[in-house]
Structure 1
Amino acid sequence: MKPIISPSLLSADFLHLADDIEMINRSDADWLHIDIMDGVFVPNLSFGFPILEAIRPICKKPLDVHLMIVEPMKFVDRLAELGVHMMNVHYEASPHLHRSLAAIRKAGMKSGVTLNPHTPVEALTDV
């Protein structure tokens, strides 16, 4: 199985996002990874919906969105409306993980689960 390459927009030059996205469009990358942080679930802030909405029209790669936020399920419909390909939620921020993953898939996106470093991978056995 071929590995999926999904470079992170966090490593882009923020003053030239359009140029860096165009470089990714021309590359062999499969997806574009977007980290959305709220400053609560994780201490950092990153891209929010205004940036995601601004880059969506110019990005030709499927968007792989990683939500590092407290209530990720509040945004399923909004991400689906933006045409997001893959929505990743944190195990630690999803008290009803089965329902969360089902809702993401029902909205037409691929679902993914991310673990904080201290969480054992065995926590995902049920899903």
Structure 2
Amino acid sequence: MHVALWITAGLLALVALAGGITKTFMPLDKLSQHDGAAWIRGTSPTFVRTLGVLEILAAVGLVLPAVLDIVPVMVPVTAACWIALMVGAMITHGRLGQAKLVMVNVVYLALAIFIVVGRFGPTSFAA
């Protein structure tokens, strides 16, 4: 179970890092041309960049606290925050009729729930 939680956290961190780097550093006019980023067209650039930075921080928070053994409880806390982010993403993509992207967000949400339950429960770092 411990290995599965590490792998899940690593995969979710890669997803968060990729999305965060894209939203933070890619020109918004270029980013908004992608189907999955249609929501950007009606959003302020500051909001998009803020989401990008939050996703980069999530990538760090899903792995680094446990690797360094400094406040490892931040791993499931970060995963819980990721759940909130995915709920917002599902609502946004649902409003735009992007069912496939909603399903992708459901998968990411499920991975985060697995981390929260596992790391706050039987496979916590304190155990």
> Is TM (by shorter chain) over 0.5?
no
Q: Going by fraction, where is helix more abundant, 1 or 2?
A: 2
Higher relative contact order (CA 8 A, sep 6+): 2
- State the TM-score, normalizing by the size of structure 2: 0.28
Higher strand share: 1
